[in-house]
Amino acid sequence: MKTVAIVQARMGSTRLPNKVMKEINGTPMIEVLLKRLAKSEQIDQIIVATSVDPKNDLLVRHVESLGYVCERGSENDVLERYYQAAKAHNADIVIRITGDCPLVDANLVDTAINDFKDHGVDYLSNTSPATYPDGLDIEVFTMKALERALKETTSLFDQEHVTPYIRNSGKFKTHSISYTEDLSDLRWTVDEPVDFEVISNIFDHFSPNIYFSWHEVYELQKQKPMLFDNNRNIKRNEGANMGTGQKLWKRAKSVIPGGNMLLSKRAEMFLPEHWPAYFSKAKGCQVWDLDGNQFTDMCIMGIGTNTLGYGNEEVDDAVHSVIYQGNMSTLNAPEEVYLAEKLIELHPWADMVRFARTGGEANAIAIRIARAASGKEKVAVCGYHGWHDWYLSANLGDSENLAGHLLPGLSPKGVPQNLRGTVFPFNYNNFEELEALVNKHDIGVIKMEVVRNKGPEDNFLHKVRKLATDKNIVLIFDECTSGFRETFGGIHKKYGVEPDMAMFGKALGNGYAVTARLEKEKLWRQHSHHL
């Protein structure tokens, strides 16, 4: 009876890439694991099973330089990878060890193998139920059980995690070993950067000895618990029930503040711990996550960027054609002239067009021009107009000023205090509130969304237009979200109210980064010499 330990390892971990080659006191983690496992007296051969992905080439070279065989197989069907590796080496009994468990204890492995043989079962583990610390996981099973599982299961989950079918189908004789106390909450595995910090602390303590027992680690945790604090908030086997997107989201938050610069893109805004977070493909109203799951996107679609659907062929073909000819040069792109003329044709009140990339950028440009044209600094706003200092300054006086316009609790930290008292929010359809602001403050600009959750009531927009005209105030319509939806152009056309300036974005590019700002000639003459 040949007993073969198969260590599954790869470089493409979503949460901690290249973790198996991360160095512990100068030695790659996979090498430390193999040295500790080699102390087993019951294992006849140790092999490493990785995938055919070229990113694993470095791992394969290192493992083979240590004198171990490294078999390569499927990236996602790890069950098939295990079977092929075991078959290639004529295994009768297979020991499953994962490459993220550098504290694997050879004595505990031998105990598991002996119990497996004594009980004459098809499968044995020390994880069902879990009583040992996470990171000491051992599974022992027969080659026949492995082969049967491969033939019978079609579950992607079973294929990825190798043994669930053997454990849960009821078709195999199973057994488990347990510790005398429940230590399953202790975390000694490596899935995330904080896990590696804990493992490094452990090996630093015992250095240069790497052959300490798991009992010694447990005593260390009782004596110096601070060495183990960094990963205490991570649940055991958390990754088994997490999709690739959820794992990548956790990884993102370690290098990107909040995981993403846009509040509207953050997983916590939708379904914490379950939101797919990332897409691999999008077409029409369908979106595919990183695991290939297909969804109908009934959500915000990038706050409504793709009114023609994701991957619209006519739009994409035009973009591809331009990119093929060259995406940048010293000279200008003629398309900006054609688009400017078309926008003015759709909005006869406008005389000039200027382009930007994002809605926030277009809004920041607009507010500077409008202030210059009016000769006044104070602005009345209704709606969301980006995250720049000029807008967030509304919260300098009261942190809840913008609560009804975007989100409550937006902190204005970092916004210069000299902007205090320059921006005043008013509520949609509340003309009296706006009128009071204009009468109390020297307002030079009114910037607003044309519609919000509902349309105008009691001639609200017409009253705003008349007030702006009577008081010589610049009226700006922010149509980054509302434009090109109900009307071919700005939704203000539907209500018969014309602004002095308007911004368009999102739907304008069907997902590509372009925004436009239209304005009357009288405003353009105020800034043409310096902007």
Residue extent(s) of CATH 3.90.550.10 domains in the chain: 3-231
- Across the chain, mean pLDDT equals 93
Q: 3-231 belongs to which CATH class?
A: alpha beta
Let me know how long the chain is.
531
Please name which of 337, 330, 327 lies closest in space to residue 513, comparing C-alpha atoms.
327
At 4 the three-state DSSP class reads: strand
| In the predicted structure, residue 241 carries a pLDDT above the cut 90 | no
Kindly report whether the global pTM for this prediction surpasses the value 0.85: no
Half-sphere exposure of 316 (CA within 13 A, CB side): 11
Residue extent(s) of CATH 3.40.640.10 domains in the chain: 332-527
Within the chain, how many helices (H) and strands (E) appear?
19, 19
User: What pLDDT band is residue 529 in, cutting at 50, 70 and 90?
Assistant: low
Mean pLDDT of 172-195: 95
Residue with tokens 């490493």: 48
CA distances from 422 to 378, 380, 499 (A): 4, 9, 21
| In the predicted structure, residue 530 carries a pLDDT above the cut 60 | no
Cβ atoms of residues 35 and 41 within 8 Å:
no
Mean pLDDT of 449-469: 95
Domain 332-527 coded CATH 3.40.1260.10: no
| Distance from chain centroid for Cα 279 | 9
Beta strand 123-125 with 174-176 is parallel
| In the predicted structure, residue 249 carries a pLDDT above the cut 80 | yes
Mean pLDDT of 433-441: 96
Cβ atoms of residues 46 and 7 within 8 Å:
yes
DSSP string, 418-453: GGTTSEEE--TT-HHHHHHHHHHS-EEEEEE-S-SS
Q: What distance in Å separates the CA atoms of residue 195 and residue 428, rounded to the nearest whole number?
A: 50
| In the predicted structure, residue 406 carries a pLDDT above the cut 80 | no
Please name which of 401, 478, 480 lies closest in space to residue 437, comparing C-alpha atoms.
401
Please name which of 147, 90, 97 lies closest in space to residue 122, comparing C-alpha atoms.
147
Cβ atoms of residues 39 and 214 within 8 Å:
no
Least reliable range by pLDDT among 260-269, 400-409, 489-498: 400-409
Cβ atoms of residues 24 and 102 within 8 Å:
yes
User: What pLDDT band is residue 239 in, cutting at 50, 70 and 90?
Assistant: low
Q: What distance in Å separates the CA atoms of residue 363 and residue 503, rounded to the nearest whole number?
A: 7
Cβ atoms of residues 102 and 11 within 8 Å:
no
| Distance from chain centroid for Cα 465 | 42
**Rounded to 5 degrees, what angle do the CA atoms 268, 410, 251 make?**
35
**Rounded to 5 degrees, what angle do the CA atoms 234, 237, 239 make?**
85
Mean pLDDT of 262-271: 85
Residue bearing the bigger pLDDT, 492 or 251? 492
